[in-house]
Amino acid sequence: MGDRVGTPAIEARSLSKVFGAGADAVRALDDVSLTIRQNEFFTLLGPSGCGKTTLLRLIGGFEQPSQGDVFLEGQQLTGLPPFKRPINTVFQSYALFPHLTVGQNIAFGLEMLGRPKEKRTARVEQMLALVKLQGYANRKPAQLSGGQQQRVALARALASQPKVLLLDEPLSALDLKLRKEMQIELKRLQTETGITFVFVTHDQEEALTMSDRIAVMDSGKILQIGSPTEIYEHPQRRFVADFIGETNFLEGRITEANGAAVAQLACGHNLTLNGPGQKGSGGGQRVTLAVRPERAEIVPPQGEGLPATVGAVVYMGTDTTYHLTLADGTPFTVRSQNHEGARLDLASGAAVKIRIAPAAIQRLAD
Amino acid sequence: MRVDVTNPLWRFRGIRATTWVFFAYLYLPILVLIALSFNENRLATIWSGFSTQWYGVVLDNDDIVRAAGNSLIVASVSTLAATLAATLAALGMAKGRFRGADGISGLIALPLVVPEIVTAVATLLFFILIGFKLGLLTVIVAHTVFCIPFAYLPIRARLEGMDKALGEAAADLYANDWQAFQRVTLPLLWPGILSGGMLAFIISLDDFVITYFVAGAGATTLPVYIFGMIRIGITPEVNAISSLMLIVSILFVTLSFLIGRMRR
Ligand SMILES: Nc1ncnc2c1ncn2[C@@H]1O[C@H](COP(=O)(O)OP(=O)(O)O)[C@@H](O)[C@H]1O
Ligand SMILES: [Mg+2]
């Protein structure tokens, strides 16, 4: 498996997929390129309808691309039917064969590959142990709970040791508690088997907790690819910053003062930024800044920062959220942890200042 | 009868009586027929005592046995042919959305609403035009054709209720098209096929109008034979054959229903 460390597990080059024709045509994927590394837990994250399933189905071979190619460990897959791709799928509906037992379901792929019976039996036992369902081999899928069916679907897809496992929102049908359990379970399975996982979800929290890398998608395009930290701390696009976690957006123009980059905000005040500023003719360019609520701090009105007025203060147990308004009416949220002595006693209407460290400010491309 | 008082229909006085009259109208004639098949009297409508002799008479009558044999041959052969055609049609229709798919689906089911007499005349005309000699074969061909929609509907329904992802899962797990069909689609479709086949069988067994038109000499089926008997007068034999056919029909419809409901 790891013998070709250099080659990516999956590579997509300029993939486009158009459904329908003429006026009804839907461009589900628009010139998508990406590289998924070996042994990686890779997540496709985006709102419903952004093309995640379509991308997964192109990799699995259930759809053919309108344009572009898919490569598996450097080999072109385009044109190969699903049964000729060493890639397996965990379907959203699980798609367990209802007329077969759990054991027969898990052995199905091995049987189609022509593995001898003793090998299949041994492998089924091994897979049942892996997903902690020993003793369930003779049950029918209908006799299992949703969570157990999910495990069988995983065992079935992993049994033939595929090079890549595709998972299309596999946890969305489970209740919250089970979903949390399965998140940990999936991560464990991925580490234990060393198989590359391509995981689809619209749940940003799920993506952040499980993934090695995330591709954020919108309207058939990939907006940003990066580790959870990169995606969360350094979103490059407004959509990414907005979709993942909570964000305050500040509009302004970039200039330079005393050799440092400064943003002149719409509220009339300046904010010092990291990185290069823009002097002279190039200066004054419009910019959108993103600041996470937990990265800003409220200080007394005589301190340094952006003047703001307190609106609602919401106590949320572990932390408190302050809903503020800047001088020009822009809303701004600050969240701080409720450790001993940290809670500010602020009444609605009070004047405060917001201190934002340059490192907490992310410049967005659009 | 349990009464749901929240249903406004129950406030209509006389609903109870109407219901009973309705069921009596539906089933009383059949009950009377069964009862009279056990009548000892030669005159079918005058009760004189219990006897099973007419069942014996029926089974001793070579013509009736031959007609019953014809009915079974026709029903079996046309059921097999119609069910096969219906299965292929349903699979073809489910394979993919194509232009005019709804129209074709409608065309397959259309014979269900075409007046049978029209089909009968048209079929007869067709056989005469192509010079097909009327006999048992023409009956089988005609039955096959009108049984297809009856077999098609349950198979189609079963196929439509099937998760599309199952076929994809089979392909995902290295099954080629034929293996996927054989190992996944067919076993899951089987109840629908059986159910459709049984429906086709009973429809064929029961058919009179079309058979009457296209049956040549020696191709008399049971319903056609009964019709011939009844022109002479209602006899206890007619009652006995009818009761036997009723039992066969109920058996098949029940089986068809039970198999159709079978989940796996
Ligand atoms: N088979 C199809 N025919 C037509 N349109 C489709 C088909 N599959 C997906 N689409 C469209 O493509 C877009 C992306 O769909 P999908 O990949 O399922 O999104 P996601 O999985 O991110 O919710 C949607 O607008 C959807 O309606
Ligand atoms: Mg989807």
The Cα angle at residue A192 between residues A191 and A198, in degrees rounded to 5:
45
In terms of domains, do A211 and A261 share one? no
Q: What is the CATH number of the domain that holds A219?
A: 3.40.50.300
Residue A106 reports pLDDT greater than 80: yes
Q: What is the DSSP letter of B134?
A: P
Domain termination site, one of A199, A219, A242: A242
User: pLDDT tens digit string along A34-44?
Assistant: 999 999 999 99
Residues A236 and A321 in one domain: no
* Interchain CB contact of A160 with B (< 8 Å): yes
Residue A22's contacts (CB-CB under 8 Å, 6 or more residues apart) are: none
Enter the ipTM: 0.83
Same domain for A344 and A278? yes
Helix (H, G, I), strand (E, B) or coil at B1: coil
The pocket of ion ligand 2, defined by CB under 5 A, consists of A 53
Instruction: List all residues 6 or more positions away from A228 whose beta carbon is below 8 Å from its beta carbon.
Output: A207, A208, A209, A211, A214
Please write the tens of the pLDDT for every residue from A201-242.
999 999 999 999 999 999 999 999 999 999 999 999 999 999
Query: What's the CA gap between A169 and B70, in Å, rounded?
Result: 58
End-to-end CA distance of chain A: 40
Q: B86 CA to chain A: closest CA distance, Å?
A: 23
* A168 CA: nearest ligand 1 atom: 21
The Cα A34–Cα A298 span in angstroms is 41
Is the distance from CB of A255 to CB of A283 less than 8 angstroms? yes
Residues with CB under 6 A from ligand 1: A 19-20, 26, 28, 46, 48-54
Task: Name the 3-class secondary structure at A310.
Answer: strand
Domain with residue A294: its CATH number is 2.40.50.140
Q: Are A320 and A335 in contact (CB under 8 A)?
A: yes
Shared-domain flag, residues A305 and A216: no
The more confident residue out of B88 and A273 is B88
Count how many Cα atoms sit within 13 Å of the Cα of residue A117 in the half-sphere of its side chain.
0
Give the C-alpha separation, B173 to B117, whole Å.
Answer: 51
Contact of A122 with A137, CB cutoff 8 Å: no
- Asked if the Cβ–Cβ distance from B184 to A97 is below 8 Å, we say yes
Classify burial at A58, counting beta carbons within 10 Å of its beta carbon; exposed 0-12, middle 13-18, buried 19 or more.
Answer: buried
Q: Which residue of A has its CA nearest to B164?
A: A95
**What order do you get walking across the sheet with A351-356 strand by strand?**
A296-299, A351-356, A306-315, A319-326, A331-337
| Residues in B 168-187 with any Cβ partner in A closer than 8 A | 168-176, 179, 183-184, 187
- Domain closes at, from A242, A261, A282: A242
A146 and A58 in one domain? Answer: yes
Structural domain harbouring A311:
246-364
Same domain? For A222 and A351 the reply is no
Contacts of A292 (CB under 8 A, 6+ apart): A232, A245, A246, A247, A248, A360
In a domain, A2, yes or no: no
Domains, chain B: 53-261 (1.10.3720.10)
Query: How many structural domains is chain A composed of?
Result: 2
Do A28 and A66 fall into the same domain? yes
- Specify if A103 maps to a domain: yes
Q: What is the pLDDT along chain B (264 residues), one digit of tens a residue?
A: 566 667 777 777 788 888 899 999 999 999 998 988 888 888 877 888 888 888 998 889 899 999 999 999 999 999 999 999 999 999 888 876 677 777 888 888 888 888 999 999 999 999 999 988 888 999 999 999 999 999 999 999 899 888 889 999 999 999 999 999 999 999 999 989 998 998 899 999 989 999 999 988 788 999 999 999 888 888 888 889 889 989 988 888 888 788 777 654
Rounded CA-CA distance A161/A241 in Å is 37
Choose one of A215, A242, A269: the last residue of a domain.
A242
Which pLDDT does position A175 carry in this prediction? 87
Query: For residue A38, is it within any domain?
Result: yes
Contacts of A282 (CB under 8 A, 6+ apart): none
Q: Is residue A1 part of a domain?
A: no
Please state, in angstroms and rounded to a whole number, the distance separating the CA atoms of residues A236 and A228: 13
Q: Does B169 sit within 8 Å of A89, measured CB to CB?
A: yes
